[in-house]
């Protein structure tokens, strides 16, 4: 947050809380990634606006920012390691009431929306070479009718009377260490600090409603089944103008009829006959990249592997590609006609090999009658 937060929202340093809120809502709608699908910089601007609003909407954090600036001691980021600001730490241990510039106030305005998960189905080739796949989902989005306020047109939210806008209620109890103060979200406003006397008729006071959206998702080459892509800011909008969560896209890949995958390598079984294995053969193999010629030498044994380099899967986090491993499978005929059986017996005799005698039983004659 090196930029002037007031300049990011386009307001003066003396702007009221309502002016800051209106500026945030206007800019959030203007720069939301949904409204700028072709602008790669929209997401960064949207996050910058949300970060500026997070600081300036909190009275305590705004005071520290006005006093010290972004990089000064006690600036907006101080205390984040403890899960909150200095005011929360002082209140928890000393039962403060928000005076003296610490504590009090809301912690960052409307909450962030939750995350959302969807699944995209890819073909085997799309996973290997990458693609642009659309994903459609019902996504909670800012309500246009109430401009994400949750209040019916012509009305406005009121400060919660239970927590006085703090979004928290504190309970004081005595312990052996003295007075202890605990805080929990306000049960009336749910931690938002505001109540809606007249809810918006379209969103019921949520400030958001489900909208069917289709996002083009760039699938990089080399992804695998089970991989997940994260799209920041494309998830559900937060209630009443809160920043959007993230969209997680899980990938599901269909199997291939001829290839299997092992990491970045592809495997294929090349079926040849005993004669081709013994005498050699030149074959044409259809790969994912096109036609490749494979020369099978004379005397190739079953299980021999030909490695076709660079015809495997692109490496997602590196350069180059894996290999295509072609394993020789010798197909032995399950049945033989009389002529082929005679030839095999001649080959066995020439090689001095012992083989089973001819099948001359009744069952063999029965089979021959139906050939």
What residues does each domain of the chain span?
A: 1-57, 260-330, 338-369
Q: Give the per-residue pLDDT at 70.
A: 53
Percent helix, strand and coil across the chain, each to the nearest 5: 25, 25, 45
Name the residue among 296, 254, 286 with its Cα closest to residue 124.
254
pLDDT < 70 stretches in the chain: 1-2, 68-109, 175-179, 360-371
Sort 29 into a burial class: Cβ within 10 Å, 0-12 / 13-18 / 19+.
middle
Q: Give the per-residue pLDDT at 103.
A: 38
Q: Give the per-residue pLDDT at 92.
A: 35
Q: Which two tokens stand for residue 205?
A: 């006071």
Q: How far apart are CA 316 and CA 335, in angstroms?
A: 47
Q: Give the per-residue pLDDT at 108.
A: 46
Helices assigned H by DSSP within the chain: 5-9, 17-31, 42-56, 59-68, 86-94, 124-129, 274-279, 338-351, 362-369
The superfamily CATH assigns to domain 260-330 is Urease metallochaperone UreE, N-terminal domain (2.60.260.20)
Which CATH number describes the domain made up of 1-57? Answer: 1.10.287.110
**Alpha-carbon separation of residue 366 from 72, 335, 337, 340, 359 (angstroms):** 98, 14, 14, 19, 11
- Biggest CA–CA distance in the chain, Å, is 108
Q: Give the per-residue pLDDT at 305.
A: 97
- Whether 260-330 and 1-57 are alike in CATH topology: the answer is no
Q: Calculate Rg over the CA atoms of the chain.
A: 35
Q: Give the per-residue pLDDT at 51.
A: 86
- What is the pTM assigned to this prediction? 0.61
């Amino acid at each position: 947050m090196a930029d002037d937060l007031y300049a990011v929202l386009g307001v003066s340093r003396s702007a009221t809380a309502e002016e800051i809120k209106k500026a945030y809502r206007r800019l959030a709608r203007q720069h939301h990634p949904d409204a700028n699908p072709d602008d790669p910089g929209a997401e960064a601007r949207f996050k910058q606006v949300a970060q500026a609003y997070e600081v300036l909407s909190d009275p305590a954090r705004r005071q520290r920012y006005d006093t010290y600036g972004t990089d000064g001691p006690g600036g907006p980021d101080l205390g984040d390691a403890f899960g909150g600001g200095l005011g929360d730490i002082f209140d928890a241990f000393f039962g403060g009431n928000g005076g003296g510039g610490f504590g009090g106030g809301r912690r960052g305005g409307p909450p962030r929306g939750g995350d959302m998960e969807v699944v995209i189905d890819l073909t085997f080739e799309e996973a290997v070479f990458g693609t642009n796949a659309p994903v459609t989902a019902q996504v909670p989005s800012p309500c246009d009718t109430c401009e994400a306020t949750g209040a019916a047109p012509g009305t406005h939210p009121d400060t919660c009377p239970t927590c006085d806008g703090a979004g928290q209620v504190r309970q004081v109890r005595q312990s052996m260490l003295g007075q202890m103060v605990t805080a929990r979200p306000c049960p009336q406003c749910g931690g938002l600090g505001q109540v809606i006397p007249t809810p918006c008729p379209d969103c019921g006071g949520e400030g958001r409603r489900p909208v069917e959206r289709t996002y083009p998702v760039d699938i990089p080459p080399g992804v695998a089944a089970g991989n997940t892509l994260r799209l920041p800011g494309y998830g559900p909008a937060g209630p009443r103008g809160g920043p959007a969560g993230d969209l997680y896209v899980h990938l599901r890949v269909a199997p291939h009829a001829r290839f299997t995958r092992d990491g970045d390598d592809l495997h294929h079984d090349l079926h040849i006959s005993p004669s081709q294995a013994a005498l050699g053969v030149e074959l044409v193999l259809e790969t994912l990249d096109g036609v490749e010629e494979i020369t099978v030498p004379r005397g190739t044994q079953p299980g021999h592997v030909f490695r076709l380099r660079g015809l495997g899967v692109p490496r997602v986090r590196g350069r180059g590609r894996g290999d295509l491993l072609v394993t020789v499978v010798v197909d032995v005929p399950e049945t033989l006609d009389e002529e082929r059986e005679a030839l095999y017996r001649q080959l066995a005799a020439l090689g001095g090999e012992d083989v089973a005698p001819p099948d001359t039983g009744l069952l063999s004659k029965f089979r021959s009658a139906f050939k």
